[in-house]
Amino acid sequence: MLEIKNLCVSYGSVRALDEVNLRMAAGGLLHGIIGPNGAGKSTLMDAITGCARPTRGTVRMNGVDLTRRPVAWRRRHGMSRSFQRTSIFPGLTVREQLELVASQLGERDLRGIVLALDLGAVYERQADSIAYGDQRRVDIALALIGHPQLILLDEPAAGLSTAETVSLFDHLSTLTAQRGVSAIVVEHDVDAVFRFCAQITALDLGRVLVTGTPAEVRADARVIAAYLGSAA
Ligand code: ADP
Ligand code: MG
């Protein structure tokens, strides 16, 4: 479904992404991206979603070359991302925000998203007044609206406790499986990534060290040296 070939992004003399290759099948899988700070994880998400301009390489979805397509075009063609920004329009309730985006993108099962993400209790509250953990789930709800085929989440659990992180990934894996939407998730909590992601890519210095199952990645000598260290 997604095919990334030889993707490069440079910021001045910094090669933030260096010949990245990645393939991902359709069908509700979670694909985790791990790596130390500065590895290029956010740049990869930006380049896939059109927020960063590659100097070389291609991003294809279902065979269609998206590399030069604008963000909004990708959103309408099945690729969405979270922005870690719960309040699109200040003063709106969670319901008003979600309904607004749902009407724009022709979502017919907003109720299903709201129930699956346990947002019922905060539905009528002003979006910027709810607890941080609830805001993170609203972010995911916004990304899921409009039946995307692929969602990209950059550290959706940032700032959450370990228990909240597990709960968020639990919700995410249930929802993606139910709706058949695949997700690429950058996450610092490697325990959560190893537990919930079917495939994992480890990045370091803008390069892919390895892509594989949790067991393959955990056992990879380069990943242990660059990132996991004795924690593995
Ligand atoms: P990660 O998300 O894995 O921590 P990033 O993708 O944010 O890593 O950054 C990768 C590299 O690119 C780092 O060296 C970072 O300093 C650099 N970088 C990222 N964004 C920019 C930018 N907008 N301008 C200049 N350098 C950047
Ligand atoms: Mg980052």
Whether 76 and 53 have beta carbons less than 8 Å apart is answered as: no
Residue nearest to atom 24 of ligand 1 (CA): 11
Nearest atom in ligand 1 to 40's CA: 6
Q: Which band of pLDDT confidence, cut at 50, 70 and 90, is reported for residue 33?
A: very high
Residues 93-107: what's their mean pLDDT? Answer: 93
Tokens found for residue 9:
């992004």
Residue nearest to atom 26 of ligand 1 (CA): 11
Q: Which band of pLDDT confidence, cut at 50, 70 and 90, is reported for residue 232?
A: very low
Residues 165-172: what's their mean pLDDT? Answer: 92
27-56 CB burial, b ≥16 within 10 A, e <16:
ebbbbbbbbeeebbbbbbbbbbbbebebee
41 lines ligand 1 (CB under 6 A): yes
CA distances for 98 relative to 35, 78, 171, 204, angstroms: 32, 18, 18, 36
The mean of the pLDDT values for the chain is 91
For 35-46, the pLDDT digits (tens) are: 999 999 999 999
Closest Cα partner for 86 from 43, 57, 117? 117
Reduced 3-state DSSP string for 15-75: EEEEEEEEEECCCCCEEEEECCCCCCHHHHHHHHHCCCCCCEEEEEECCEECCCCCHHHHH
Q: Which band of pLDDT confidence, cut at 50, 70 and 90, is reported for residue 212?
A: very high
Q: Which residues are 188's β-sheet partners?
A: none
90 vs 174, more confident: 174
Q: How far is the CA of 109 from the centre of ligand 2 (A)?
A: 31
Q: How far is the CA of 167 from the centre of ligand 1 (A)?
A: 29
Residues 78-103: what's their mean pLDDT? Answer: 84
For 170-188, the pLDDT digits (tens) are: 999 988 998 899 999 999 9
Q: Could you tell which of 8, 10, 13, 14 is best to mutate to test the pocket of ligand 1, judged by most ligand atoms within 8 Å of the CB? A: 14
Residues 108-121: what's their mean pLDDT? Answer: 92
User: Residue 161: CB partners within 8 Å, gap ≥ 6?
Assistant: none
181 vs 232, more confident: 181
Range name among 81-90, 118-127, 163-172, 180-189 with the lowest pLDDT average: 81-90
User: Residue 225: what pLDDT?
Assistant: 87
Q: How far is the CA of 51 from the centre of ligand 1 (A)?
A: 13
Q: How far is the CA of 44 from the centre of ligand 2 (A)?
A: 9
40 lines ligand 1 (CB under 6 A): yes
214 lines ligand 1 (CB under 6 A): no
For 53-63, the pLDDT digits (tens) are: 999 999 999 99
Residues 197-221: what's their mean pLDDT? Answer: 95
Closest Cα partner for 102 from 148, 169, 49, 135? 148
Nearest atom in ligand 1 to 12's CA: 25
Domain boundaries, the chain: 2-89+150-168+178-231
Say if residue 231's pLDDT is above 80. Answer: no
CATH fold group of domain 2-89+150-168+178-231: Rossmann fold (3.40.50)
Residue nearest to atom 21 of ligand 1 (CA): 11
Residue nearest to atom 23 of ligand 1 (CA): 11
Q: How far apart are CA 108 and CA 102, in angstroms?
A: 8
Q: How far apart are CA 74 and CA 223, in angstroms?
A: 32
- The half-sphere exposure of 84 on its side-chain side, counting CA atoms within 13 A, is 10
27 vs 8, more confident: 8
